[in-house]
């Protein structure tokens, strides 16, 4: 689930930029003119860039951590990292960019981390001798 969440966070970036272009009425100009500070202002430009960077980083971490957990090379730390970066992706998608696609990606990252923790604890419990 973390891998799917990371991919959705990646996908949310260009979709959000297109929606921003529609909101600001860029019209026939290139869509990426919407991230021009002269068009939207320096504060909103900084806010959008911070959101793009955080969604990208969160998506990358979710994909890598999810791949490591699926391959059996990850441990409890990777599951916790998935939860943390799922929350970050969710927050920045709501606050800055990403919209519903980024929110779904963040939620999938969180759920993937929680399920991984449960699976790791269950696996550790079966490996420990009783007695």
Q: Please name which of 66, 73, 71 lies closest in space to residue 116, comparing C-alpha atoms.
A: 66
pLDDT tens track for 46-101: 888 888 899 999 999 999 999 999 988 888 999 999 999 999 999 988 887 767 88
Contact 12, 105 (CB under 8 A): yes
Contact 6, 61 (CB under 8 A): yes
Q: Domain spans of the chain?
A: 2-127
Predicted confidence at residue 32, as pLDDT, reads 66
Predicted confidence at residue 31, as pLDDT, reads 67
Q: Is the pLDDT of residue 7 over 90?
A: yes
Q: Is the pLDDT of residue 107 over 90?
A: yes
Q: What is the pTM of this model?
A: 0.84
- Tokens representing 86 are 């799922």
CB half-sphere exposure, 40, CA atoms < 13 A: 22
CB half-sphere exposure, 11, CA atoms < 13 A: 14
Q: What does DSSP assign to residue 35?
A: G
**What sections of the chain are H helices per DSSP?**
2-23, 37-40, 42-71, 76-95, 99-127
Predicted confidence at residue 95, as pLDDT, reads 84
């Amino acid at each position: 689930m973390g891998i799917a969440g990371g991919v959705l966070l990646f996908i949310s970036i260009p979709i959000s930029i297109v929606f921003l272009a529609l909101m600001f009425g860029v019209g026939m100009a290139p869509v990426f003119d919407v991230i021009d500070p002269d068009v939207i202002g320096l504060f909103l430009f900084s806010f959008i860039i911070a959101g793009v960077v955080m969604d990208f980083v969160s998506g990358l971490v979710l994909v890598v951590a999810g791949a490591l957990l699926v391959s059996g090379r990850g441990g409890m730390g990777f599951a916790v990292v998935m939860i943390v970066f799922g929350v970050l992706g969710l927050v920045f998608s709501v606050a800055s960019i990403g919209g519903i696609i980024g929110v779904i990606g963040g939620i999938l990252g969180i759920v993937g981390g929680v399920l991984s923790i449960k699976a790791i604890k269950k696996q550790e419990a079966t490996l420990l001798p009783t007695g």
